[in-house]
Structure 1
Amino acid sequence: MNDSPCSAAVRRRRIITDALLLLFLLVLLVASLSFPIPTIGAALRAAQQEILFGPGEIVAEFTRDELPEDAPDFDRGYVLQWEGRYALFTFSYYDVSWHQWDRPVVLEPSPDLPLTAAARSSPQYVLIYSQTDSITRVEAVHPCLDSDLRDIQPLITSPALALGNQLFFLPLAQSLSGTPVVLDAVQLRGYDASGALVYESPVPSIWSERYGITLSDSEGR
């Protein structure tokens, strides 16, 4: 039996509808992967949705100009607080769009520690939270890489940037870039406004176990 003109017309409409729907879905997929994000606010919201963090409150923000010359090369950083946790988001602007510079770092402060730190597995920067507002300056002591000898050298001291709200940002690009050093190799020291040492985390066992650094080196250089 031959199809009626009506059923043939219905099939054509369905084919056209399906083709248009497929085209729309393809455009939507391309847009979701590469559509420019012209504002930092939109980029921040997209980054929050990606890790299901928020809405939250922005408690600190800073720009690349506030960091040392050899710090990680992103344009802006934001710290958001939500449900007792903190998340650090970093962004760079290129190709007329804002992009995440690195995956966010999420920190959950420990009530038992004056200083709590969080970083990625191969850190170029560390987010630090102080449980006490008496700590106004934070520094880290850690191994560094000698660029000439290509070897781990005795310790270096890096100052952290105070962000306010008892938060600190510690860039580690110069000393840890290209080395296997992890957050467990970083010793934190917190000082009050007068410069007195308030807290010092334990000397990392990894100093001697992996790098052969003795306690006599622990004053840094």
Structure 2
Amino acid sequence: MNLAFISHPTTPNALRAISALLTAVAKEKPNVGYIASQPDPDREFFTQTQRLYRSLNAQMSVYLELESGFSHEALNALLRCDVIHLSGGDTQRFLQAVKQRKLIAVLQAFVENGGAIVGVSAGAMLLTPSIASAALCGDEVSEEESALSAVNLVDFQFVPHVTEEQSNQLHFKQQLSELKSPCYLCSDNDAVLQMGKELLLYGTPTLYKNPAK
């Protein structure tokens, strides 16, 4: 199982983590597919991400939107890729779209069959047991806990974009204590990489375990 949990994709440690994952794919030029967290009509974010992967000697030619522009043809092409990139955005909206398209089991099977996934911010939180952690980085999370269950490929949650000032705030600590799973807190220049059974940390991610749980 090869998974990258990224806060911000263009920081040095994020690029190191993505590069390591691409190397593990063991192809001269891995093919990466992109899932948009919400419509990107001008393909602005897709184009930026294409450039990023091109700089890492990978190609990205598949774009999948999950809302009105959804295409089964694009989904089939995506599942033939070596790597899937889950974009950042509104975490709850992204999860709802993934569930509406019945992609939870599809993504789980993709990984079980040897595919790799890079999750950025919201996309990274989707890979965990629950997106409840999205509330800690400013997302509005309004559903009941049971509706926040996600792809569940690892046993920890993920909080991107954490600053030192934020981590010392009482409200942040209270929100953190409500999470059901251990959680990695990552600044923009931190990344977590699951490579098989090995967990690799880039930068200084902090693992929070609630002593009461």
The TM-score range, normalised by the shorter chain, is under 0.3
Structure number with the higher helix fraction is 2
Higher relative contact order structure (alpha carbons within 8 Å, sequence separation ≥ 6):
2
Q: What TM-score do the two structures reach when normalised by structure 1?
A: 0.27
TM-score, with length taken from structure 2 = 0.27
Question: Higher strand share goes to which structure?
Answer: 1
